[in-house]
Chains A and B, each alone.
Chain A
Amino acid sequence: MRRALCIFAVLLMISVIVISTGCAAQNGAANPTEGSGQFYLVGISQLIQHGALDAATQGFKDALTEKLGDRVSFDFQNAQGDPNTCASIANGFVASKVDLIMANATAALQAAATATADIPILGTSITEYGVALGIENFQGTVGGNVSGTSDLAPLDQQAAMFGELFPDLSSVGLLYCSGEANSLYQIQTIQGLLEADGYTTRLYPFTDSNDLSSITLAAVGEVDALYVPTDNTVASNTGIIDNICRPARIPVITGEKDTCAGCGVATLSIDYYDLGYATGEMAYRVLTGQAAIADMPVEYAPRFSKMYNREICEELGLVMPSEYEAITD
């Protein structure tokens, strides 16, 4: 049996080596050769897969490909929601000596910023860089080898939407995932704004998709309207919220477009594709040496748009002001 185990172990090792060299050969064949002009390898580390983050990654890739053509190639890695995998990914990028790391979401940025002080890092879909990187008195520029774009939506204008669309309502429930750093920040901010406008607010933090429906059920029984922030778990589970809020005729204002398309009435949203595209343009300036990343301030979304979900609005009998555009897709 010992011998069998030894043979098993050896076979396992051989198969790993064979598979890996096989893949290396395959990938090697597809590689553009270095040397013709400057060639760039960009590592993309994304925390989890969902509409908003995917759109940001796509915008980033499109911007760089537009400017650099085939002189740029991407190494895209997705941690599938496990923050610890972000460290493995960052370690891989540093060992591969990529020219730039694009970190999509907080844990991805933190792991990359820990892994290297030399390779330029651009973050995106991060709400507050000072919070994400533990910088006190953050003034808008991270410095060192880190910069990027923030997905902070104009929370004051989102809060004002409640007064604009539902002047008769008095209480707003704030539904968010207690496990997400960005969500808590948004909720705390908008809670202050709503209460200043005279609404009573109640917090409805949920743990994960398992207790989302019971928390939402509790919320629709207690408040007149709901707000959900830009939240990864909500974005992946809008169907649960919609199935509860629509029959209860509770309108939901959301932090971003994809969530609104799933369960919201209206939103003032940034476009994650635009945000990623802006990040890609920053990457171009860094790679070509037009700007030093240490001096680049964090950039914000280029434009915001007021949007509404036509299907849900019709069912609830809501008529949207004309400046709102319907979400199509």
Chain B
Amino acid sequence: MNISFSNLLDQFPGALAQGLIWGILAIGVYLTYKVLDIADLTVDGSFCTGGAVFVVLLTRGTNLWIALACAFLAGALAGLCTGAFHVFFGISALLAGILTQIGLWAVNLMIMGKPNLSLNVGRYPLLVSLRYLQEVIKGERPFYSSPLFIVSLFILALIALLYWFFGTEFGTGIRATGSNIKMAKAQGIHTDFAKIFGLMLSNGLVALSGALLTQYQGFADINMGRGAIIIGLAAVIIGEALLAWLFRNFALRLASSVIGALIYFLVIQTVLWLRLDPNYLKLLTAVVVAVFLAIPHWKSRVLQLPVRRNGGKDHA
């Protein structure tokens, strides 16, 4: 069997491309989980919604960019539902996300008409595809059609846009809502609207990520969003734990989520290469996320001890 370390390295471009695509989802998850301080489980449904809308529109002859925009809008609509459940119905954000996610199963089936839709790379001009990646490596395509290049550009543009947006008065209002909702209200920020808008933006990005993934792997599947939130959270948390000390700037914080997604998919590809059972991968994900979540907590405990001692001395 052709197992060698260089063989693993050959597999990394594909893993990186997948990681970049999921990186867009990770940015979306960052917006809700870190900026708005909401664990939004809509993601598992809206990821598939994006892919479903995109494939249905593209295969019926819609322009690729319009189809991508519609995927984004469909995701934003899903976010609007969660936001409405949360704000107007007074349902906790976690539960509101779960409700939308469950409902989206039926919506996604309705959009697609069946559980799995093929997107044949030979028949449609796609933006990104696993096929193009291989063809660039073999030199049959120019480098700029590589998914690595295109998705990187996509991410740079998205981060630039988001950086600008979250610097505007309205964007700062959304960040303030996440940091301290009472203070934000006192400052006259419409926190309900800020939350809904944040959820819409986040799920729009998640759906965009789903639309890119369907192109990359050549199909939309009703099960493609299952566990997406865990991958997104893992990416955000891994990125944060590894890079928070270095990346202070908001744009860099977003980038660290993308890097988290890259690391996650490099690990997956390595696990597959090692012939480990992918079932254990899910356990591994849970353990890794738990450990990275625990790091800040342990950090604060370790740092607290000397402070108390010093405090005691000073007062004495």
Contact = CB atoms under 8 A, between A and B. Distances in A.
B278 to A, nearest CB: 4
A97 B6 CA distance: 12
A116 B131 contact: yes
B154 to A, nearest CB: 18
A144 B247 CA distance: 48
Contact of B299 (A1, A132, A183): A1
B272 A87 contact: no
Contacts of B242: 5, 9
Contacts of A96: 2, 7, 10-11
Interface stretch (B36-44, B79-87, B118-126): B118-126
Contact of B274 (A23, A115, A184): A23
B224 interface: yes
B115 A134 contact: no
B255 interface: no
B279 interface: yes
B15 A88 contact: yes
A89 interface: yes
A27 B267 CA distance: 19
Nearest to B123: A134
Interface in A44-95: 73, 75, 77-92, 94-95
B131 A114 contact: yes
Contact of B4 (A5, A28, A92, A98): A28
A95 B131 contact: no
A113 B218 contact: yes
B10 A95 contact: yes
Interface residues of B, number: 61
A83 B223 contact: yes
Interface residues of A, number: 61
Contacts of A85: 268, 272, 278
A116 B121 CA distance: 10
A111 B118 contact: no
Interface stretch (A174-182, A282-290, A305-313): A174-182
B219 A111 contact: yes
Contacts of A91: 11, 14-15, 18, 130, 133, 269
A90 B118 CA distance: 16
Contacts of B303: 1
What DSSP secondary structure best describes chain A's contact surface? Answer: helix
A79 B219 contact: no
Given A2-B245, A96-B2, A82 B278 contact: yes
Contacts of B295: 5
What DSSP secondary structure best describes chain B's contact surface? Answer: helix
B72 interface: no
Contacts of A89: 272
B118 A110 contact: yes
Contacts of A183: 115
A114 B1 contact: no
Contacts, number: 170
Contacts of A97: 2
A179 B224 CA distance: 11
A117 B131 contact: yes
Interface in A1-16: 1-2, 5, 9, 16
Nearest to B55: A134
Given A5-B295, A90-B130, A110 B1 contact: no
B165 interface: no
Interface in B217-235: 217-219, 221-224, 226-227
A133 B221 contact: no
A133 B131 contact: no
B116 A116 contact: no
B33 interface: no
A91 B9 CA distance: 12
Interface string B183-222: 0000000000000000000000000000001001111011
Nearest to B117: A134
B8 interface: yes
A114 B130 contact: yes
Nearest to B134: A94
B3 A114 contact: no
Nearest to A185: B114
B170 interface: no
Contact of B134 (A88, A116, A181): A116
Contacts of A132: 116, 118
B272 to A, nearest CB: 6
Contacts of B119: 134
A153 B305 CA distance: 70
B105 interface: yes
A97 B15 CA distance: 16
Contacts of B8: 20, 24
B302 interface: yes
A97 to B, nearest CB: 7
A169 interface: no
Nearest to B3: A27
Contact of A24 (B4, B10, B123, B267): B4
Contacts of A326: none
Of A81, A84, A90, most buried by chain B (CB within 10 Å of CB) is A84
A244 interface: no
B268 A88 contact: yes
Interface in B262-299: 265, 267-270, 272-275, 277-279, 295, 299
The 4 A-B residue pairs with the shortest CB-CB distance in the complex, in nearest-first order: A114-B218, A91-B14, A134-B118, A181-B116
Given A75-B2, A113-B218, 14 more contacts: A9-B242, A19-B274, A20-B273, A77-B272, A80-B279, A82-B227, A88-B272, A91-B14, A95-B10, A111-B217, A114-B129, A135-B120, A178-B222, A207-B105
18 contacts: A1-B303, A24-B8, A28-B4, A75-B2, A78-B277, A81-B223, A82-B227, A83-B116, A83-B223, A84-B217, A87-B130, A87-B216, A97-B2, A110-B116, A110-B118, A111-B219, A183-B115, A185-B114
